[in-house]
Amino acid sequence: MTLIDRFLKYVTFDTQSNDQTGVTPSTDGQMTFARALRDELQAMGLEEISLDDNGYLFATLPANTGKANIPTIGFIAHLDTAPDMSGANVKPRIVQYEGGPITLNQEQNITLDPEQFPEMLDYVGQQLIVTDGTTLLGADDKAGIAEIISAIEWLQQHPEVKHGKIRIGFNPDEEIGLGAHKFDVNLFGADWAYTMDGGAIGELEYENFNAAGAKLTFTGLNVHPGSAKGKMVNSMRLAADFLAQVPADESPEATEGYEGFYHPVALNGSVEQTSLVFIIRDHDRQKFEARKRLITDLVARFNERCPGCVALELKDQYYNMREQIEPVMHIIDIAKQAMERAGVKPKVQPIRGGTDGAQLSFKGLPCPNIFAGGMNFHGRYEYVPIPSMEKAMQTIIEIVRIAAE
């Protein structure tokens, strides 16, 4: 099976995660996909294959050389697709892109247009895999899975390329922030690993946001509006007032690069009770702590003005992996060299988000992030250039080759 055949098969599995179920994996479709992958890996003859009840699938390609001191390297990708848009009945299509807009769905007038997505013009002359405009594609991260398995198959077919022990791991629920929570680093047994979960070709990331989540519950007092003067406390107005005092110019839509933000992601309420959910992000740890203090100080001020009107749940979610990667920067150097050998210019940049690799790094498995090639993740305009996937696969092969050298 070719790399592209594999990918086109994988996207037919509906693997959206769901943060409301409270189980792992959060949806049955992820386990169905994991079982299909397990069967494929068994048919390929891989060793040490394990699939636990939580949907974590591990396997080994044994070393083909007796050379001593070759490190065990891991490659990791996630099974789930984002809850943001349906991943059911995905209908991928390969188009030869020669510029201009691509009609995804003529009936619904859905168009992938470089006026809106100028990065498309970087791929003129290439074949792109696109959606039909009614679902996401699932390149995040089924492209990564296809690239890893196809690279392993290539190595099996080319025993002249010497390599050490290679571990592969596919985990559930990355898109809801739980991908690494039950990942058994000791069982995985790699010296270091790479998540194949980045975007555009060349991306190499070992810095990510420090992240926290804040849930605020505003409590009001509801009385008949005809006799409400001096009595009613409208929790929705409290929430709106609170939101207005969080810096609007420090939002995702107003920041880039290393700039952090406050991002309200959910607002639901009535006169009596309103909930407001934020995510808080910053690459710099001190600035991250300052952002959390701003929220807690605002809560304190509101409760001084209106005792007991707002309750706060504030939890750290993950931290910047840079501090775990810096002591082992040779793993970044290897990835850069591998990309260059594959004819790819490395683009080292911070992740404006999180990655399983961040949590795994803090669990003792250094794990930077490498491009899988997809664009416009999490929505109907997602696409992946086929040459980008091929270069990601080649990069994996070159990494294990360099490590053995």
pLDDT, tens digit, 9 for 90 and up, residues 121-130: 999 999 999 9
Given the residues 132, 140, 153, 174, the one annotated as active site = 174
Confidence of residue 356 (pLDDT cuts 50, 70, 90): confident
- Cβ count near 50 (within 10 Å): 14
Sort strands 166-171 and 57-61 into parallel, antiparallel or unpaired: antiparallel
Section 389-397 average pLDDT: 98
Residue 53 annotated to the active site = no
3-state secondary structure of 262: strand
**Alpha carbon distances (Å) from 350 to 82, 337, 390, 394:** 21, 19, 23, 23
- Joined together, the tokens standing for residue 276 give 């407001």
Mean per-residue pLDDT, 61-71: 91
Residue 192 has pLDDT above 90, yes or no: yes
Listed in order, strand segments (DSSP E) in 231-333 are 261-269, 273-282, 310-318
Which of these, 79, 101, 55, lies nearest to 196 by C-alpha position? 79
Name which of 79, 82, 84, 91 is nearest 134 in CA terms. 91
Positive or negative: CA dihedral 325, 328, 332, 338: negative
**What pLDDT, on the 0 to 100 scale, is given for residue 288?**
98
For residue 285, what are the β-bridge partners?
none
Taking alpha carbons only, the member of 404, 390, 384 closest to residue 122 is: 384
- Name the strands in the sheet holding 93-96, side by side, starting at the edge strand that comes first in the sequence: 93-96, 127-130, 383-385
Out of 14, 80, 197, 398, pick the active-site residue: 80
In the predicted structure, residue 336 carries a pLDDT above the cut 80 = yes
Average pLDDT, integer, range 140-148: 97
Round to whole Å and give the CA distance between 391 and 385: 10
Q: How many C-beta atoms lie closer than 10 Å to residue 126's C-beta?
A: 14
Number of Cβ within a 10 Å radius of residue 353: 15
CATH 3.40.630.10 residue ranges for the chain: 3-207+320-404
Question: Active site includes 80?
Answer: yes
Residue 367 has pLDDT above 90, yes or no: yes
Integer Cα distance of 351 and 207 in angstroms? 6
The Cα-based distances of 6 to 17, 131, 153, 207, 347 in angstroms read 21, 16, 12, 30, 27
Report pLDDT digits (tens) over 14-57: 999 999 999 999 999 999 999 999 999 999 999 999 999 999 99
Q: What pLDDT digit, counting tens, does each position of 234-264 carry? A: 999 999 999 999 999 999 999 999 999 999 9
CA 354 from centroid of its chain's CA atoms: 6
CATH T-level fold of 210-318: Alpha-Beta Plaits (3.30.70)
CA 162 to chain centre: 31
Q: Tell me what the mean pLDDT of segment 90-113 comes to.
A: 97
Q: Which residue, chain included where needed, has tokens 């999180």?
A: 354
pLDDT score recorded for residue 341: 98
Structure tokens at 236: 């929705």
Domain 3-207+320-404: CATH class, spelled out = alpha beta
| Pairwise CA distance, residues 392 & 143, whole Å | 9
Mean pLDDT for the stretch of residues 265-276: 96
Long-range contacts of 226-233 (CB under 8 A, 24+ apart): 232/271, 233/306, 233/309
Instruction: Tell me if residue 378 falls in helix, strand or coil.
Output: coil
pLDDT at 108 over 80: yes
Q: Which residue's structure tokens are 């025993």?
A: 159
pLDDT greater than 90 at residue 277: yes
Q: Measured between alpha carbons, how far is 264 from 89 in angstroms, rounded to an integer?
A: 31
Intervals of CATH 3.30.70.360 along the chain: 210-318
Cα angle vertex 356, ends 2, 372, to 5°? Answer: 30
How would you label 72-109 residue by residue, b for 16+ Cβ within 10 Å and e otherwise?
Answer: bbbbbbbbbbbbebebeebebeeeebeeeebebeeeee
State yes or no: pLDDT of 354 exceeds 80: no
The arithmetic mean of pLDDT across residues 382-389, rounded, is: 98
Q: Please state whether the predicted TM-score (pTM) of the whole model is above 0.85.
A: yes
Q: Where is 143: in which H helix or E strand? A: helix 139-157
Closest to 129 in 3D by CA, of 394, 371, 387, 342: 387
Residue with tokens 């509006």: 225
Residue type, 217: T
